[in-house]
Every structure is written in structure tokens, then in C-alpha cells.
Amino acid sequence: MKKILIILLAVLLIISGCSTGTPEVSKEPESIGAGNEINEDEQNEFVNDNEESTEEEIEIEDEDSPVTEDSVEEIQESKATEEAPLEEVAKEEPPVEEPSSEETDDENSLKIQGLAENELSLSLDELKAMNDIIFEADFYSLNNFGTTGYTHFKGVKLWDLLEGKAVIKPEATKVSIVAHDGYLIEFTVEQVKMEYMDETNSDNKYPIIIAWEENGKEYSTDEGAPYKLVVGQKEPGDINKPQWVSNIDAVIVE
């Protein structure tokens, strides 16, 4: 009888000894497992893999588990790819709405910045209303590959815009035309002030203009800021087409 009791006690001890480990293991999958589509075997492995456990520990566990090292890596990867985008979406969503509408306004405005009494941010309508400085003509162009052509442009005279509207300061020497794509062309103030020519019509004189209309059609704002710089030739053979900066963002006076 004593023997049986001792054996029973021993058996109870063994059973209780084994079961103390299991609640701990079953607890952890609950906290991690949510949202992860992993089968039970993988889930156990996943628990061991959690945070502090090293790869060595995983290998030991592998002995009595069907999960291989490769599949552990897969789980790690799936954990990374499933969780990371969720965080990004949560971070990115809030700022998307308000600043984007401000940006849209900004993109379609023409800025005059730097050494000027009146730094300007002009809408297309404000520019079109400057009747006193509008210029319209066929401009001749020559590009790097020898291609030539005539294009009809309508816009405002850049020098009149800088002198009369922005009122650039007397110490200003340089005018940079900057596009939204980063394309930039620099002129001296003298080069902005001067008149340009057309090698095919020696009598014609052209100011530099900022155009919003090309061959009778206004630029679509879908294609970026609706302004193009148009410059004639300094002398016959002058390759002027590269200076026709499209999608102007700002005119910077220094």
C-alpha cells in the first residue's frame, strides 16, 4: 500500500512537473499570435523566436519540431513584412490631407524671391491681369541638334515684372529661373534687361518673357506649373532653346 502511494505521489509529481511549463508557453502565443496566420507548430517556434531568444535556442528546439531554420526565417520575414506596412500607413495617413492642398496652390504660383522690395507669389490669374507688361509674338528657336522652329507665345515681360512689380533692389546682379524639376538657368540682370534677336528676322526684337500660353493654348496645370521662360537669340547661331525653362517655380534675384 505504501509502495502504491509512493508511486502515485511520484506520478503526480511528474505530471505536475510537466504541466508547470505548459501554461507559460500557451500564454505567449496569445499575445503574439493575434493577426498572424501561422499554424500551431510554427506558432510554438514563433514564441521561441520572440525578441530575446537566440538562434541557438531555436536550433535546439528544432530537434523535436518540424519547423526548420528556413521556415523560422520565413516567419521572421512575414512578421517584418506584415507589421511594418501597418506602421507606415498609420504614420503617413494624417499629414496627407491638409498640406497637399496647400502644395497644389504653391505649385501653380510663380514666385519672385530674393533682392526685391516686393517678394511675390503670383497666381496665373494675377499674372494674366498684368495687361501693361504682356508681350506676344512668334519666337524662333535653335536647339543643340540644329533643330529650328517658330512658336507663338504670350506672357509677361520678365524685366518689367522684376523692375515694376517686384521692384528689385539696385544691388541685384543675378536672376535665376528655377523649375520644379530642378532645372535652372541663370542670367545677369543685364541679360534680363536686354533685347534678343531672331537670326531669320533681323529686324525683330524680343524681350525675355514668362509665357502661360503656347500656340494659342494655355498650359494645363496637369503638366506642372503653367509657366515657361522664353528667350530669343543673342546673336545668329545662338542655341536658345535650352533656355526655355518649363514649369517655372521661382525667379530668384541675387
Tell me how far, at minimum, the Cβ of 141 lies from ligand MTE, in Å. 8
Instruction: Using the minimum distance from each CB to Mo ion, give the nearer residue, 164 or 242.
Output: 242
Q: Which residues contact 233 (CB under 8 A, 6 or more apart)?
A: 140, 142, 196, 197, 198, 199, 240
Task: Tell me the number of residues near Mo ion by CB under 5 A.
Answer: 1
Nearest Cα residue to 109 out of 123, 129, 88, 93? 123
Listed in order, strand segments (DSSP E) in 83-133 are 110-114, 120-122
Q: Is 215 in the site for ligand MTE (CB under 6 A)?
A: no
Question: Which of 120, 133, 179, 211: binder of ligand MTE (CB under 6 A)?
Answer: 179
C-alpha grid cell, residue 234: 543673342
Half-sphere exposure at residue 251, Cβ-oriented, CA atoms within 13 angstroms:
33
Question: Which of 36, 191, 247, 254: binder of ligand MTE (CB under 6 A)?
Answer: 247
Residue that the C-alpha cell 490669374 belongs to: 125
Tell me how far, at minimum, the Cβ of 181 lies from ligand MTE, in Å. 5
Binding mask 129-168 for ligand MTE (x = CB under 6 A): --------------x-------------------------
Instruction: Using the minimum distance from each CB to ligand MTE, give the nearer residue, 49 or 214.
Output: 214
Question: Which of 66, 99, 164, 242: binder of Mo ion (CB under 5 A)?
Answer: 242
Q: Is 183 in the site for ligand MTE (CB under 6 A)?
A: yes
Q: Is 242 in the site for ligand MTE (CB under 6 A)?
A: yes
**Only segment of 37-45, 164-172, 200-208, 242-250 that touches ligand MTE (CB under 6 A):** 242-250
Half-sphere exposure at residue 115, Cβ-oriented, CA atoms within 13 angstroms:
12
Instruction: Using the minimum distance from each CB to ligand MTE, give the nearer residue, 44 or 246.
Output: 246
**Only segment of 99-107, 206-214, 218-226, 241-249 that touches Mo ion (CB under 5 A):** 241-249
d(CA 84, CA 185): 42
d(CA 229, CA 208): 7
Q: How far is CA 186 from CA 80, 106, 140, in A?
A: 48, 22, 20
List residues near ligand MTE by CB under 6 A. 143, 179, 181, 183, 241-242, 244-247
